[in-house]
Every structure is written in structure tokens, then in C-alpha cells.
Amino acid sequence: MRTHYRRLGLFCAVALGLALLSNQPVWSGGKQQFDPNGEPKGFKAGEPARYAVWHTKGVWHLRTTTAKKLHHFKGKVFVEGGGTFDGIQSILLETKGKYEDYWVVHPKKHEIAFDFKTDRGVDGIDFEVTKDAKTLHFNLHIDGKHYAEKIFIGKGNHHPDSDPFNLPAHPAKKKAGK
């Protein structure tokens, strides 16, 4: 029986080590946890239809891009557990014409809704949340459908298991060497 427990302990230690080395999501309390810090590696205009979501220096970034074909990106981001949005800024949005993009904030400042028509370029928003915000809830569509595999989160290019998904409003920064 002791041999069984030793093998199980060794297996768990090896599995945890491989997970940490592979920069894959880590499970905590039965939920998948992503490190959303840092722009997704390789993200640039003209990639196949996708979202990029990341956090740097207290600011959240949400971007869309496509390759040669117009796609309709529409969604909402909610602040859950208290707190509100602050300092929202448009990034490369068209303000008129057939590719007009827009975003609106709920009067209580706890929800942002956006509607982008992206064709080869990049569209997006940057925003901050107040200190009392706990969780951000993302609900993202491409051409009216959910595609978790087309959502790239943080420097590790993580994909959520499903969409909608949640991220901590104020993610911890990884310490150097970890």
C-alpha cells in the first residue's frame, strides 16, 4: 500500500512540474486559472479571425483581427463582485462607413458592450477597472457564434475552456524566474 502512495505522489509531482514548465493553465480549486499578463505572443494584424485579451500595468486590452475577410465581432465584458470600468479608450476603431465600430458603457459602468466589423486590421478597446472589482466576465462572439479556440489570453496564448469565461479583475504579476 505504501508503494502505491509513493508512486501516486511521484506521479503528481511530475505532472505538476510538467504543467508549470509547459506554460499551460494551472488548475486551482477546480477552476482553470490563466495568466492574462502580457500581449499574446505573435499577435498582429492580419492573423485569422481571433480575439486577443491581455493585461499590462493595470490596463486591460481587447483586440480583434482577421485575415482578408470581414468578420463581425460582438460581445460584452462585465465587472462582477463590485467595481466599475474606468478609463475606456478606443483603439483603431472606424467611426463611420460600412466598417463602423462602436462600444457603449452601461450607465452604472459595470458593463461594456462592443460591436466591431474587422477586415484585415485590428480593432479594440483598452480599459481599467476600479480597485474593488473582483472578476471580469467575457462573452465574445465572432459572426454570431462562440469560438473559445479563437480567443488568445495573455503571453501564453491560453484559450478558455469555453466562452463565456471569467478572469480576475486584477491579476497577480508573475515574479521573475517563475
Please state the pTM of the whole predicted model. Answer: 0.80
Same domain as 4, residue 48: no
Query: Which residue(s) pair with 74 in the sheet?
Result: 115, 141
Same domain as 40, residue 10: no
Same domain as 38, residue 19: no
C-alpha cell at 174: 508573475
Same domain as 102, residue 69: yes
Compute CA distances 164 → 35, 45, 51, 77, 81, whole Å: 17, 24, 13, 10, 17
- Kindly state whether residue 77 falls inside one of the protein's structural domains: yes
In tens, the pLDDT along 47-83 reads: 999 999 999 999 999 999 999 899 999 999 999 988 9
Same domain as 49, residue 13: no
- How far is 93 from 54, CA to CA, in rounded Å? 18
* CATH at 55: 2.60.40
Q: Model confidence at 5, in pLDDT bands (50, 70, 90)? A: very low
Same domain as 38, residue 20: no
In tens, the pLDDT along 143-176 reads: 999 999 999 999 999 999 999 999 999 998 765 5
Name 14's Cβ contacts closer than 8 Å, sequence gap at least 6: none
The whole domain housing 12 covers 1-26
- Kindly state whether residue 11 falls inside one of the protein's structural domains: yes
- How far is 19 from 142, CA to CA, in rounded Å? 30
- Kindly state whether residue 177 falls inside one of the protein's structural domains: no
In tens, the pLDDT along 85-137 reads: 998 999 999 888 888 899 999 999 999 999 999 988 899 999 999 999 999 99
Same domain as 156, residue 120: yes
